Structure 1
Amino acid sequence: MVLLSAAVCTKAGKVVVSRQFMEMSRSRVEGLLAAFPKLMNSDDQHTFIETDTVRYVYQPMEQLYMVLITTKNSNILEDLETLRLFAKVVPEYCRSFTERDVAAHAFELIFAFDEIIALGYRENVDLYRIRTYTEMESHDEQIFKMRQKAKEREAKDIMKRKAKALQKERERGRGFGSTGMSGMGSASFMPQQDVAPVAPSVAAPSTPTQRSAPAKKPGRGMKLGGKSKGKDFVDALIQEGEEVAPDTADIIAPSKTQAAAPVATPNRESVHLAADEKITLEANRDGGLEHMEVKGTLTVFVSDPEVTRIRINCDKGPKSIPYQTHPNIDKRTFGGSGVIGLKDKERGFPVGTGVGVLKWRFQTTDDAHIPLSINCWPNPNADGSCDVNIDYELLADDLQLQDVTITVPLPAHSGAPVVARADGAYDHDSRNGVLLWRIPVVDSENPEGSIEFTTNGGDTDDFFPVQVDFASSKLYAGLQINSVEVIGGGDTTFSSEVSFAPASYEIV
């Protein structure tokens, strides 16, 4: 087939978005599309129109038309198949079939059209591949975002430590009960009163003389007050859960001496370990594994200068996962006994900043390594409806998956599915045209479940790709932290934060 142009237009022939795949002038394209409504016959049941020069292949979409303009000698069967693919692409990017919504997503549609047709000929692609090609995910961008989030978390931790340290200093200052303390200079005590919000103190209230003393200071005190209001505002945003940009965090960051104060963050010990693991998996609808990759990192946060010289005792688990240690970590000790420690025993971990000490990456195409198997069985009926059966099975029985969400795409304009039976809960997202199947916990006690529903129309390809999302406090690699030991001082308490979640988990 030779496709000249693809367009979305109104019933009056107004072009909303159009893409030409052969050399054509704009006036010719506009003329062909303007003539299209005039050639239509309301009594005609066909979805194509032939003229002396071109053929129109079209499909109604509520108030709009999806129109393909081809040459007369093109294969009509291929034209109709291509038209169906174009009609599936439009709802992928537009929430509704309105002129305004299609115009707002014109560039996304053009990029998708370009993946279907090249130089007038159709490419061998389906809806899933089009979505993958147009997303253009960048591994470097993901790493950059992870680093930015890590910096923001560090800024929050530093601010909380400084607020707690300033509160203690303020309470000690009030304990002297002397009005002379307020005259020690604005560079020490006065700024600390206004930098961060302080909880009510048990010390005796200040006398009227002490309260009036700051008001008699010169204009420099007002400048410091102006800065502290900005810091208070940023601190309030962080306490409410808002994210703070790195530049803002740098402005409010304390000095190195203050950052090294041995004050543990609430819910964190002086030694905190954070393990983050992501899985990327693509399986085919027949149950075979196309690609699977698991990547993880272990980061150490030390907030007390007295416990920087530490060793971390780990259990690497039964799986054959290739681990890679930081260049400053003793690789032989970790490989032999699973102990993470610095090569130089006299050095310690830096205080107040996270250090990545271990990372791992596991790739396979072996079906036996799939943690959660998903089977989707669409069965089109003679009356145009489609029965769908989906089931899951936990193959890695050592994992416990929480908040499992299985997202199933639905055929366009099929409406809400009729669910006959479901383990767990389900929701119909009409805006995105998907069925959300939610299971609170999937573990060895609840390793499998299923859902059955019927849709009004659709074929097998309409229900793929199936996407899976979950969270887990156990790592796929099986790595566990047993204890943390201070060199020359015995074991010490530590806190840990473990996260295992999908970066992408799809059945295509």
Structure 2
Amino acid sequence: MVVLAASITTSSGKPLLSRQFKDLTKDRVIELLSNFQNLVSSISSDHTFVEDEHVRYVYKPIDEFYIILVTNRQSNIIQDLATLNIFSQTVNATISNFDEYEIYENAFEILSSFDEIICMGYKENLSYTQVANFLAMESHEEKIQEIISRNKENEATEQRKRRAKEIARREQDRKNGIVPQDYGMDHQSRFAANTNDPSVRKAFDSYYSHASAEASQAYSGQNAHDDTLNNYYASKGQPQAQSQQQSHSQGLNVSSGGASMQKSHSKNFASSANRAPVADKSSYFGTAVPEATNNGILLSVNETINAVFNRDGSIESSELKGVFEIRVNDAALADATIKLVDSLKVDDRSYQFKTHPNIDKSLFLKEKRIALKDKAKSFPHNDQSLGVLRWRKVGAANDSQLVPLEMSTWVSANSDSSSFDVTLEFEVNQDMGDMNVENLGFIVPVPTQSVRINEDSNEFGASIVDINDEVGIVIKLASALEAGQQGSVSFTIEADMEDALFPINTHFTVSNSSLSGVNVDSVVKTSDNAEAYPFDIVRTIATDEYNIV
């Protein structure tokens, strides 16, 4: 057999992509595909191939598209059909939804699979499994390089965090009037550096012999102190460098007010320093719905929102991610088919729906049902969650369709220029219907103790629940918000500059709701759709990175 080209077209004849394995021009390929459309439209019965006077077209319709192999007329039709089947399997494995946009997005992967199947017009002796393995092969050296790069990035991130914490600690010490611990060594190093070198010691002696009386007296006193300590520690068998370090440390401790300030500093920050860093924000704010009991079939619709707001309230970006999970703990109920609500728009191009590989995707797209491809099998009944459907949607700038809670800020500097009055305004998006926002809270990335809630405008019972060196100041509201309700939280905080207060991370949860509209109409037995199964469903919306920048 000789394959001249492999192409994908729409049912109306529009060519989407084509791979030529022989010397064919683009115009010739377009002419052949146009001729194919004329031949297919003129026949009334279902065939898998058509011919003209020059070439043979072996094709397979999938939804509203054709996968076409253009071969010569002398080609073995049996081999052509087997090759076409491999082409169809690779295309189905590469894309999940048959639409033009996804075909264009995955054009490189599709054409790469075509090249694995056909070489110089002749089919390679490969099965679909071998083609999939070749496409998935990874370079060991590339993986090692990726690991090295990732480790370097993680190390640089940790170093940056440590440096930022050190700068913040020193700045807080400076505001509290605490002398840095290394000040004594830096201050006294003018006299102590390299004093064991005779030439250096002679140069210091010569300089300070012509200096002012105060400087000469300070230098003489320091030398006498160092000589005494060196002789003492030498008699004890300790290294001189260690003795100098201990002497500098002692000099700092006995400096005027140094001990008392150090003790005060330890007392003020002991509580925050001893706290373990908390990575999970839900430990502060909680969840809207407690862990549900599985009475046989438990269905979960969990959605996560990411959004970025400017300080004036405009939306920079928004994103929704969701997953539909099923838990079965009764073997008698494992043979189930889940019927989603009719209002769900599975053909909405703004959403990217992806089904589990074992789920019948065509049944989901046509009838909005979730069932296994193999009807002889059933869902696992080990009471473990199994994700069967995922979806994602990215909102445009200033598009509030994925934003249940709209945010804005007002920041004004006080007269002392070291503190700011911050007001966070929020409003539940009334276009989303009956949606209650719960567990609302904010995280301000400034770990300072100098912060207070302004009680004059604290109608929702906001309070500071924690001040953590890792995350900052955690503020939580005691009341939930109803649809269309608006409010604000005002607080005064000490900071070096306004930008240090941002980004402010917002956390909230919404129960019994879904932005995508995913919901369950019924659960029935797969073999007998008339028999209904009992089920429980939990739907939640939570935030991940919901920031004001």
TM-score band by shorter chain is 0.3 to 0.5
TM-score, normalising length from structure 2?
0.44
Larger Rg belongs to? 2
- Under a length normalisation based on structure 1, what TM-score does the superposition of the two structures give? 0.47
